[in-house]
Amino acid sequence: MAYHCKSPVLFHLWNRIDVVKKTFRQIQIARPSKLYLSSDGAKNLNDKKKIILIRRYVEKNINWKCKVHKFYFKRNLGPKFALSNSINKVFFREKKLIVIEHDCLCDNTFFRFMDELLELYENETKIKLISGNYICKNQLSFDHSYYFAQHPITHGWATWKRSWKEYDINMKSYTNIKSFFWLLFFFNLNIVKTLYFSNKFKLSKSGKINTWDYQLIYSIWKNKGLIIRPTKNLSKHIGWGPQAYHGKYDDDLSDIKVNKIKFPLKHPKKFDINTKADEIEYLRVRKLYFWKSLKFFISRYISKFF
């Protein structure tokens, strides 16, 4: 029997009807009682036709009883501002939220997982975010249904208003030199991770990376936060390819599939960070192989940091 979602869901749309049909089907099955629809404005006439078609498709296929709120932007804000602005709007009304982008496919157990943990950790301020992603496959074994991490993946995630208040899309507190040394100590003097993320944060603050998620990582780390990660992969980005805004290449995590998690959940007793899981992701997602990366940074980027 399908699980019906209790928490508010924000479904962020863009211009690809092929992935929207797949991802929205899972939202239909979950039947959230509150559905927020977010949609960026068009960049051109061709985009406008696609976006109008997608908005109409989703609205027409809300075939269950729920409260629907729409944040449809007339002009194109881009990925940096469209989603973050919509989340800001939702948190004027809500205390918690599940966020699903148009190209993020979720299993039905994803929604129950988010519901239960959003309630359980609502007042635990050190927990900043719940992710639906797990990419370590059989490399680790667990006695629990989830673990605590520092490295987030946000292809299907949830958070609280209390956490989102700490988010600053402009990264006002980030400064190149001071923050570089803060990162160096954060990563226990690992120069490769420090160089990588200081570059990403610098480019995100300056607007040269048109995204919202590095700002979220920065916010979580600056506030000494933890991220909940499941031990089964419950959601996945499926929007790879030439039509994507980011990720126009092939899926290099194609071996990671969407799975189910068993209930009742088995809860860890301590807030210990699983550094092994984080390290696997730094290698698989970020490609931060130490000597190879160090050679790359020395040859290409180190002169640009100061």
Confidence of residue 299 (pLDDT cuts 50, 70, 90): confident
H/E run at residue 12? strand 9-13
Residue pair 209/112 in contact (Cβ under 8 Å)? The answer is no
Confidence of residue 296 (pLDDT cuts 50, 70, 90): confident
Question: Does 14 have pLDDT greater than 50?
Answer: yes
| Confidence (pLDDT) at 54 | 98
| Confidence (pLDDT) at 240 | 73
| Confidence (pLDDT) at 292 | 76
Task: List C-alpha distances in Å: 71 to 20, 49, 87, 152, 180.
Answer: 17, 18, 10, 26, 37
Q: State whether residue 31 is helix, strand or coil.
A: coil
9-169+212-273, what's its fold? Spore Coat Polysaccharide Biosynthesis Protein SpsA; Chain A (3.90.550)
Among 95-104, 189-198, 227-236, 291-300, name the one with the lowest average pLDDT: 291-300
Enumerate the domain spans of the chain: 9-169+212-273
Per-position DSSP letters for 32-79, written without gaps between them: -SEEEEEEPPPSSHHHHHHHHHHHHHHHHT--S--EEEEEE-SS--HH
* Sole residue written with tokens 């995630």: 157
Share of residues in the chain with pLDDT > 70 (%): 95
